[in-house]
Amino acid sequence: MSAHAGGYSADPRIRGVEWLPWILAIAAFFLLPEYLSLGARILIYILYALSLDLIVGYAGIITLGHSAYFGLGAYVAGILAAKAGITDPILQLLASAAAGGLLGIVTGAIILRTRALTLLMLTLAITSVLLEIANKATALTGGADGLSGVVIAPVLGLFRFDIFGRTAYLYCLVVLFIGWWLVRRMIYSPFGTSLTGVRENSLRMHAIGAPVYWRLVLVYTLSATIAGVAGGLLTQTNQFVGLNVLSFESAGELLVMLILGGVGRIYGAFVGPVVYLIAQDFLAKQFPEYWYFGIGTMLVLVVMFARGGILGIIDSTLAKLWRKA
Amino acid sequence: MNVALETRGLCKSFGALTVADRINFRLEPGARHALIGPNGAGKTTFVNMLTGVLAPTSGRIVLAGEDITHLGQATRVKRGLGRTFQINALFRRLSVLDNVALAVAERLGVARRMQRAASAHVEVRSESMELLETLGLADDATQRILDLPYGKQRLVEIAIALGLKPRVLLLDEPAAGVPSLESHRILEVLDRLPREIAILIIEHDMDLVFRFAQRITVLVQGEVLVEGAPDEIGADKRVHQVYLGEQRHG
């Protein structure tokens, strides 16, 4: 599970251990039927974190506003379902993807001319503006009350969203699988390698004739598209959209999940949301008043002792065992 | 044949401070030309203007007959202008092979592709490996730059620039920071560079300059003091005063 860096000498074939998350996800479906709604939520956040890893971990773009694209995707699916009578889930997801991508290319083209703190501030500004629009446009979004009355037709006309969350779980799993496959392929491609080049030394990328700005706009757009899909999935599984999908806290929480799992290694985006959301679920039940304390402690420990996140710890432990053997 | 690279009346000032003052400079095709001068003479500013990092205040830059004064960095690279950096500007956590392959991929136009894996682009891999072999770096191909001795890092620096197949190559202190025992290794590599590349070298190591260059331009306070063959420069009193004298004592 070591860092997935791509590159011109990397073997792009899927390794055995990379099937592990999928095996676990399918096992969870059969073994933990009462946790499927939490499971679907985790799968959605994995897709969302994967989109963030693409720009933070691989291209080196720091952002606190990724919720803009996630939230827009969520609202587009919700508004289509509740106000426009478009209930087909695949159609809704395509619309969420298009909306996320469109906002990604427009905002990316503006903010990616800047860097570092300016860029960070601009990402924050974008999601704040969207939050305020959603808050005020009550006729469309329901404002602070949230958007209810979201109706979702059966997937492909066959699979109804059941109250046990079985359809939702498998549906999210399939969408995540497609997203993972695309992201992984991109990371191993020449384009992905050039992104790591930009992250490592953008000055040098300019000097070898790379159109750095356009590469960044492209990856930002792709990432926003995936985040839009993740937002659409959240609406479909919850059948409700709240303002919190657009909040800065939600973007920050996502970044925490990614750092927890490990940045720039694809599977950090898998481990982070699993640990974070399960810990949140557990701590919120056990210590309803103090659960953020537990999350905070966990993050402090990871940042202090394991810069590579949980996967980083696993990597270095395996490396030690390997040397001893 | 055209002049490989030429500047006409190139000026750069930051407010009242003039760091380049009407520089007229010609680099002939296949030249081995050195640019020397004391610290703060404006050598790096000059290179930065040539490559498009800095915009000149006035004057023109002409590459193989084409005015490139207002072109961006990336476009100049595409037209055949390559450079190395004074301070290592490598992709530190990537392998030696990937460092070179990134440049080769940009030149071949495959760097933006997403369909196939990078390693499936055999043309990029094999060209990069060939380049590493000619520089004696083939055994280090899979090493990360971080784990490489400094002298070899300087060679990777040159390898990246060569991956762009430049017609004009600007070498900004290729031996900077390399112990003098190892700098002969750099010189060997420089000596073997293809003759069709016009090379402008900026260097403090006078041994290297006088062994490598066939022509030398001396820059002082943003102005060209004198230009000539190495023996002329070595015999020039003014040059001794402002530059070589200082060096010999120091």
- Helix, strand, coil percentages (3-state) for chain A, rounded to 5, are 75, 0, 25
Residue B245's pLDDT band (cuts 50, 70, 90): low
- Cα separation, A53 vs A67, in Å, equals 14
Q: Which residues contact B96 (CB under 8 A, 6 or more apart)?
A: B132, B137, B140, B141, B142, B143, B144, B145, B148, B156, B159
CB-nearest partner of A189 from B103, B117, B142: B117
> Is there a domain that residue A11 lies in?
no
**For residue A137, how many C-alpha atoms fall within 13 Å in the half-sphere facing its CB?**
12
Q: Is residue B119 part of a domain?
A: no
pTM reported for the whole predicted model: 0.90
The tokens describing A154, both together, are 């059966």
- The count of structural domains within chain A is 1
| Of B97, B105, B163, Cβ closest to residue A9 | B97
Whats the size of chain B, residue-wise?
Answer: 250
Among the listed residues B33, B45, B37, the one whose alpha carbon sits nearest the alpha carbon of residue B220: B37
Q: What is the pLDDT along chain A (325 residues), one digit of tens a residue?
A: 345 678 999 999 999 999 999 999 999 999 999 999 999 999 999 999 999 999 999 999 999 999 999 999 999 999 999 988 888 999 999 999 999 999 999 999 999 999 889 999 999 999 999 999 999 999 999 889 899 988 888 889 888 888 888 999 999 999 999 999 999 999 999 999 999 999 999 999 999 999 999 999 999 999 999 999 999 999 999 999 999 999 988 899 999 999 999 999 999 999 999 999 998 888 888 888 888 888 888 888 888 888 788 898 888 888 888 887 6
Q: Please tell me the distance from the alpha carbon of residue A270 to that of residue A265, in angstroms, as a whole number.
A: 10
Distance to chain A for B91, nearest Cα, Å: 5
Cα–Cα dist B162/A9, whole Å: 20
Question: In terms of Cα–Cα distance, which of A66, A71, A112 is closest to A257?
Answer: A66
Distance, CA of B35 to CA of B14 (rounded, Å)? 22
Cβ–Cβ under 8 Å, residues A278 and A298? no
Q: Compute the distance between CA of residue A100 and CA of residue A48 in angstroms, rounded to an integer.
A: 12
DSSP letter, residue A14 = P
Predicted pLDDT of residue A5: 73
The sheet that has B168-172: what strands, in order across it?
B81-83, B168-172, B198-202, B32-36, B215-220, B223-228
- Write down the pLDDT at residue A319: 87
The CATH number covering residue A229 comes to: 1.10.3470
User: The sheet that has B5-14: what strands, in order across it?
Assistant: B17-27, B5-14, B58-63, B66-67
Burial class (CB in 10 A: 0-12, 13-18, 19+), A312: buried
Do A205 and B163 make contact, defined as CB atoms within 8 angstroms?
no
| 8 A C-beta contact, residue B132 and residue B27 | no
B 140-159 residues inside an 8 A Cβ radius of A: 141-142
- The partner residues of B7 in beta bridges, in order of sequence, read B25, B61
For residue B246, the distance in angstroms to the closest alpha carbon of chain A comes to: 33
Query: Residue B113: its chain A contacts at CB < 8 A?
Result: 189-191
Q: Are the Cβ atoms of B119 and A204 closer than 8 angstroms?
A: no
Contact A207 B117 (CB under 8 A): no
Task: Quote the radius of gyration of chain A (alpha carbons, Å).
Answer: 19
Average pLDDT, chain B: 91
Give the tens place of pLDDT for each residue, B139-195. Answer: 999 999 999 998 899 999 999 999 999 999 999 999 888 887 778 888 888 998 999
- Residue in this structure with the two tokens 């996800």, named with its chain if needed: A25
CA-nearest residue of chain B to A200? Answer: B91
Domains in chain B: how many in total?
1
- Asked if residue A6 belongs to a domain, the reply is no
Chain A interface includes B167 (CB < 8 A): no
Question: Is B121 part of any domain?
Answer: no
DSSP A287: -
| pLDDT for res B244 | 53
Could you tell me if residue A7 is inside a domain? no
User: Under an 8 A CB cutoff, do A8 and B101 touch?
Assistant: yes
- Bridge partners (DSSP) of residue A147 are A241
Residue B101 lies in a domain: no
Which residue segment(s) compose the domain that B82 sits in?
Answer: 5-89+164-249
Does B83 contact A at CB distance below 8 Å?
yes
Q: Which amino acid is at A34?
A: E
Domain that residue A189 falls in: 16-324
Strands B17-27 and B215-220: unpaired
Taking contacts as CB-CB distances below 8 angstroms, the residues of chain B near A5 are 94
* Residue of chain A with shortest Cα separation from B119: A8
For residue A1, being part of any structural domain is answered with no
Helix, strand, or coil (residue A159): strand
Report chain A residues whose CB lies below 8 A from the CB of B102: 193-194, 197, 205, 208, 210
Q: Give A306→chain B minimum CA distance, Å.
A: 18
Q: Which of A193, A200, A208 to mutate to test the interface with B (most CBs of B within 10 A)?
A: A208
How many angstroms separate the CA of residue A312 from the nearest CA in chain B?
16
Spell out the SS3 assignment of chain B.
CCCCEEEEEEEEEECCEEEEEEEEEEECCCCEEEEECCCCCCHHHHHHHHHCCCCCCEEEEEECCEECCCCCHHHHHHCCEEECCCCCCCCCCCEHHHHHHHHHHHHHCCCCCCCCCHHHCHHHHHHHHHHHHHCCCHHHCCCEHHHCCHHHHHHHHHHHHHCCCCCEEEEECCCCCCCHHHHHHHHHHHHCCCCCCEEEEECCCHHHHHHHCCEEEEEECCEEEEEECHHHHHHCHHHHHHHHHHHHHC
In a 3-state reduction of DSSP, which class is residue A155?
strand
- The total number of residues shown for chain A amounts to 325
CB contact under 8 A, A8 and B116: no
* Contact by Cβ (8 Å): B245, B206: no
Q: Cβ of B96 under 8 Å from any chain A Cβ?
A: no
Contact B92 A200 (CB under 8 A): yes
Q: What is the pLDDT of residue A63?
A: 92
Give a yes or no: residue B208 inside a domain.
yes
Whether residue A8 lies inside any domain: the answer is no
Q: Identify the closest residue of chain B to A214 by CA–CA distance.
A: B112
Kindly report the CATH number assigned to the domain that includes residue B12. Answer: 3.40.50.300
- Cβ contacts (< 8 Å) between B114 and chain A: which residues? 185-186, 189-192
Examine residue B196 and state whether it is found in any structural domain, yes or no.
yes
Q: Which of A8, A9, A188 to substitute to test the interface with B, most B CBs within 10 Å?
A: A8
Q: Per the domain annotation, does A143 fall within a domain?
A: yes
- B20-65 tens-digit pLDDT: 999 999 999 999 999 999 888 899 899 999 999 999 999 999 999 9
Domain contains A233? yes
- Residue B64 lies inside a defined structural domain of this protein: yes
Q: Of B111, B117, B141, which is closest to A194 when you measure between CB atoms?
A: B111
DSSP track, A64-79: S-THHHHHHHHHHHHH
DSSP-based three-state secondary structure for A8? coil
Does residue B45 belong to any structural domain of this protein? Answer: yes
Residue spans of beta strands (DSSP E) within chain A: none
Q: Which of A173, A236, A179, A231 is nearest to A43 (CA)?
A: A173
CA angle B169, B131, B30 (to 5 degrees): 30
